[in-house]
Amino acid sequence: AQTVTQSQPEMSVQEAETVTLSCTYDTSESDYYLFWYKQPPSRQMILVIRQEAYKQQNATENRFSVNFQKAAKSFSLKISDSQLGDAAMYFCAYRRNAGNAGNMLTFGGGTRLMVKP
Amino acid sequence: DSGVTQTPKHLITATGQRVTLRCSPRSGDLSVYWYQQSLDQGLQFLIQYYNGEERAKGNILERFSAQQFPDLHSELNLSSLELGDSALYFCASSVNRGDSYGYTFGSGTRLTVV
């Protein structure tokens, strides 16, 4: 079974600074997707960024970028120019590319990010 | 509005009771996934339906059951409720195979068992 581990329960960053959240995963599959979700106090799950395992290029979405190391099974999220609105729980998630069955998201335990003004 | 509708938003009920949570997926999405998030924890996968058929099961208790109807909405039934069932229950939907995008989540149903 696939597992996703986020080793940092809490992180803090100064506003306008850069922070990196860590995620490792374990799988025997070669074709899969990785995601970072943000959960603000409203508890809504918001997709931040996604990465296809077959792509070597790291995904980027505005101030958010990832460092995808497939061999090391590592998938970290970098937030640049942190803003107060970035404060939230961040979840790393994995999904195998399995058609329409067994392709559920497997989540890590989350990292709570605090942004200091 | 994500396009995935969950009702009710909040539910308070007593131990031993039975409740039904409802989810309407985003238009065009065939798969529905149910997740449970206990306080300050990650999301645990419960069950997946695709076009009316059960496709995958996770850590779902025998007291819990679900179904997906012909109009693709889904219901999660929780019975003989215990205090530990208090949690946020999310529904998510996706289109089909090869959908490389993350799933679209509803805003959740907060269940409190007293």
How far is Cα B34 from Cα A94, in angstroms, rounded to an integer? 16
At residue B24, the pLDDT reads: 97
pLDDT digits (tens, 9 = 90+) for A17-41: 999 999 999 999 888 999 999 999 9
* % of chain B exceeding 70 in pLDDT: 93
Question: Could you tell me the sign of the dihedral formed by the alpha carbons of B20, B24, B30, B33, in that order?
Answer: negative
How far is Cα B15 from Cα B79, in angstroms, rounded to an integer? 9
pLDDT digits (tens, 9 = 90+) for B50-65: 899 999 999 899 999 9
CA distance B66 to chain A (A): 16
Say if the Cβ atoms of B58 and A99 lie within 8 Å: no
Residue ranges of chain A whose CB lies within 8 Å of a chain B CB: 33, 35, 37, 42-45, 47, 50, 52, 91, 93, 95, 97, 99-110
Say if the Cβ atoms of A109 and B41 lie within 8 Å: yes
Nearest to B100 among A33, A45, A110 (CB): A33
| R_g (Cα) of chain A, nearest Å | 14
pLDDT digits (tens, 9 = 90+) for B11-45: 999 999 999 999 999 988 888 999 999 986 789 99
Nearest to B107 among A37, A44, A52 (CB): A44
Say if the Cβ atoms of B102 and A101 lie within 8 Å: no
- Residue A32 · residue A51 · CB < 8 Å: no
CA B57 to the chain's CA centroid: 12
At residue B98, the pLDDT reads: 45
What mean pLDDT comes out for the span A38-49? 93
Nearest to B48 among A93, A97, A104 (CB): A104
CA A71 to the chain's CA centroid: 17
What's the whole-number average pLDDT of chain A? 93
| R_g (Cα) of chain B, nearest Å | 13
How far is Cα B105 from Cα A117, in angstroms, rounded to an integer? 30
Say if the Cβ atoms of B2 and A107 lie within 8 Å: no
Question: How many Cα neighbours within 13 Å face the side chain of A12?
Answer: 3
At residue B101, the pLDDT reads: 67
At residue B94, the pLDDT reads: 86
Say if the Cβ atoms of A91 and B42 lie within 8 Å: yes
Give residue B74's pLDDT band: very low, low, confident or very high (50, 70, 90): very high
Does the CB of B48 have a partner CB in chain A at under 8 Å? Answer: yes
Nearest to A100 among B96, B101, B103 (CB): B96
In the structure encoding, which two tokens stand for residue B3, read together? 């396009």
List beta partners, residue B87. Answer: B111
- Residue A7 · residue A20 · CB < 8 Å: no
In the structure encoding, which two tokens stand for residue A24, read together? 């490792």
Contacts of B88 in chain A (CB under 8 A): 43
